[in-house]
Amino acid sequence: GADLVALCAETGIEVAAIPGCCAAVAALSISGMACGRFTFEGFLSMNHKSRMDHLESVRTEPRTMVFYEAPHKLIRTLADLLAVLGDREAALCREITKLHEECFRTTLSQALEHYRQTPPKGEFVLVIAGCDPKELPPDQNDLTRRVLALVAQGTPLMAAVKQISKEAGTSKNALYRQALEQLEGQNA
């Protein structure tokens, strides 16, 4: 549709919207999850590499995410979501505005277990919680600044690196290299 609207706009043809049901927004509104800001991710690719790349790109997305999925691909999608995103809160909404409408509020692991035992039916809208900020990896530049602050207070570089890497649960080697580069840059 976007290509057609763009062509119409280029040729001066007016395009009007006719309000109607939007499964993504309808599912979001009944999901019980934060919906002040969200991202619509649409259908995931059937190609495994593209699919995993897409999921990896949203792994640290803090906003609620909305995906569409067909019933025959739901179990594979839930397994991939769980593998990449971890066990997050989810609402699986199906058959929005139809007779058999359902909103299953759960977690990704529980949804996967449920649908492995009960074959999925109908078109699904998956509403997935965004990344908890506590789960985000530490910012390497911030860690380096913390190391350099300790060094400026008289702590030996290696001791500062050990302390900050232990607190953050990160690699000492990478942090040491980055701090050393910063110090050498300051001394040059």
Over the stretch 124-153, which tens digit does the pLDDT of each residue have?
999 999 998 777 666 777 888 889 999 999
Q: In a structure prediction context, what are the per-residue pLDDT tens digits for the chain, which is 188 residues long?
A: 778 888 998 999 988 776 677 899 989 999 999 988 999 999 999 999 999 999 999 998 999 999 999 999 999 999 999 999 999 999 999 988 788 889 999 999 999 999 999 999 999 999 999 998 777 666 777 888 889 999 999 999 999 999 988 888 777 888 888 888 888 877 76
Q: Which residues contact 124 (CB under 8 A, 6 or more apart)?
A: 68, 69, 70, 71, 74, 92, 93, 94
pLDDT of residue 104: 95
- Residue 71 is given by DSSP the state G
- CA-to-CA distance for 163 and 22, rounded, in angstroms? 51
CB 44, CB 18: distance < 8 Å: no
Residue 187 burial class via C-beta count within 10 angstroms: exposed 0-12, middle 13-18, buried 19 and up: exposed
Model-level pTM greater than 0.85?
no
Pairing of strands 102-107, 124-128: unpaired
- Residue 137 is given by DSSP the state P
- CA-to-CA distance for 20 and 4, rounded, in angstroms? 19
pLDDT of residue 16: 75
Other residues' Cβ atoms within 10 Å of the Cβ of residue 134: 5
